[in-house]
């Protein structure tokens, strides 16, 4: 078993994105990918265990129950690339099933070095596996993986946990099209999508009683303080989870509890906040099972099979690049 990590060059992208997002005239925004620094990634691991938040457990149930079925539908030989692997815990079921029939190269693609290290520790004991982690944005990492494939080798791209739901619907289709452009005909993608459920269930899941999701959201401001020398007073911002019925999504915001000014030297920025003004930090879109099939078709994939968890409505869909 070989474990490596290929790291991206440092950039000033974080400061540039903070500046761009907090100077938007209508609605201040911060990109959701920045929620997942070392502390944010650890907090999200805790969220996945909360009784109110059933998404991760539904994802894991489907992978555990159907890993063999999924693997039997894959072309061989196949290498595995995962977009946003996190700790890799739920990926184990697929990799173990695959390694029973072939030696497998696994490429987790993450922007968090801590998550990549956790992934290597979590999965390094699987027989017949090599792990090469890429500290990259999703598409940049996938391009590098695709460039390394051997002649005749297919790719399986894992995009689990309903991360696709962080995109609005048009952007989600565009992203899947970009993935499809990188892949070859016959390559596969396993796509996790959270399905529609009641507003009460969603509100509880995204604003838990223990306040872990609030800490996860507020950590984004703390990260800006740490990395860009900002002076956000976290006690003057509150976590808000909003149900957007029209978009069929849950939106996470950080609400300013008073009029205030924040300086962010690392982004050469001074930001004015009105009382009750918010920063939009993340969206989580919900789908119907039939809609996932159509989205796949629009992006150039055929939905070969779909498995649905009924306890917490969630779907895993195996897509084949046409």
Please report the DSSP string for 125-149 in residue order.
Answer: TSTTEEEEEEES-HHHHHHHHHHHP
3-state secondary structure of 280: strand
Let me know if residue 45 belongs to a domain: no
What 3-state DSSP class applies to 43? helix
Residue 200 burial (CB count, 10 A): 9
Tell me whether residue 244 is in a domain.
yes
Q: 217 and 191, same structural domain?
A: no
Instruction: Dump pLDDT digits (tens) for 43-92.
Output: 998 999 999 999 999 999 999 999 999 999 998 899 999 999 988 889 99
128 lies in the same domain as 220: no
Q: How far is 199 from 264, CA to CA, in rounded Å?
A: 36
| 27/170 same-domain check | no
48 assigned to some structural domain: no
Which H or E run includes 192? strand 188-194
Same domain, 219 and 291: no
273 and 305 fall within a common domain: no
Residue 182 lies in a domain: yes
In a domain, 47, yes or no: no
Query: Could you tell me if 65 and 164 lie in one domain?
Result: yes
Residue 270 covered by a domain: yes
Mean of the pLDDT values across residues 255-284?
98
189-215 average pLDDT score: 97
Contact criterion met (CB below 8 Å) for 319 and 304: yes
Q: Is the per-residue pLDDT at 2 higher than 50? A: no
How many separate domains does the chain show? Answer: 2
Share of the chain above pLDDT 90, in %: 89
Nearest one of 117, 58, 138 to 90, comparing CA atoms:
58
Which CATH number is 97's domain given?
3.40.50.150
Residue 240 in any domain: the answer is yes
212-245 pLDDT, tens per residue? 999 999 999 999 999 999 999 999 999 999 999 9
Helix ranges (H only) for the chain are: 13-22, 38-47, 55-72, 92-99, 113-123, 138-148, 169-182, 199-206, 212-228, 289-298
Do 153 and 93 fall into the same domain?
yes
**Which of 110-119, 186-195, 262-271 comes out lowest in average pLDDT?**
110-119
Asked if 282 and 35 touch (Cβ cutoff 8 Å), the reply is yes
As given in the structure block, the two tokens for residue 242 are 């909003």
Distance CA 175, CA 118 (A): 26
Residue owning tokens 């800006």: 224
Of the candidates 160, 174, 162, which has an alpha carbon nearest to the alpha carbon of residue 286?
A: 162
State the Cα–Cα distance between residues 190 and 67, nearest whole angstrom: 11
Determine the 3-state secondary structure of 279 from DSSP.
strand
Pull the structure tokens for residue 203.
């509100």
**Domain range for residue 159?**
55-197+287-321
> CB burial class (10 A; 0-12, 13-18, 19+) of residue 88?
buried
- What is the rounded average pLDDT for all residues in the chain? 94
Q: Is the pLDDT of residue 1 over 70?
A: no
Q: What is the pLDDT of residue 3?
A: 52
Pairing, β 249-256 against β 237-244: antiparallel
Round the CA-based radius of gyration of the chain to a whole number and report it: 20
Asked if residue 169 and residue 93 are part of one domain, the reply reads yes
Q: How far is CA 254 from the centre of its chain?
A: 20
């Amino acid at each position: 078993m070989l474990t490596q990590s290929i790291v991206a060059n440092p950039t000033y992208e974080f400061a540039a994105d903070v500046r761009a997002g907090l100077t938007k005239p209508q609605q201040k925004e911060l990109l959701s990918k920045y929620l997942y620094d070392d502390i944010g990634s650890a907090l999200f691991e805790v969220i996945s265990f909360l009784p109110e938040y059933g998404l991760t457990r539904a994802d894991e149930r489907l992978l555990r129950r159907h890993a063999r079925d999924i693997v039997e539908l894959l072309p061989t030989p196949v290498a595995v690339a995962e977009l946003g692997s996190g700790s890799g815990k739920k990926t184990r079921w697929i990799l173990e099933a695959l390694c029973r029939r072939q030696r497998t190269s696994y490429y987790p693609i993450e922007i968090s070095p801590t998550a990549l290290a956790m992934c290597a520790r979590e999965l390094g004991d699987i027989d017949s596996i090599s792990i090469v982690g890429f500290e990259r944005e999703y598409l940049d990492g996938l391009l590098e993986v695709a460039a390394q494939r051997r002649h005749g080798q297919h790719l399986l791209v894992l995009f689990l946990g309903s991360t696709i739901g962080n995109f609005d619907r048009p952007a989600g289709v565009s992203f899947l099209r970009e993935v499809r452009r990188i892949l070859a005909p016959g390559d596969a993608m396993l796509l996790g999508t959270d399905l529609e459920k009641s507003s009460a269930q969603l509100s509880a899941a995204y604003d838990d009683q223990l306040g872990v999701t609030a800490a996860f959201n507020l950590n984004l401001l703390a990260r800006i303080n740490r990395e860009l020398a900002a002076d956000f007073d976290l006690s003057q911002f509150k976590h808000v989870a909003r149900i957007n019925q029209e978009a069929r999504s849950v939106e996470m915001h950080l609400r300013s509890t008073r009029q205030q000014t924040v300086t962010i030297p690392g982004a050469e920025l001074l930001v004015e906040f009105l009382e009750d003004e918010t920063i939009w930090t993340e969206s989580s879109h919900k789908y119907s099972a039939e809609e996932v099939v159509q989205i796949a078709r629009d992006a150039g994939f055929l939905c070969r099979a779909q498995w649905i968890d009924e306890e917490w409505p969630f779907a895993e869909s195996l897509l084949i690049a046409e």
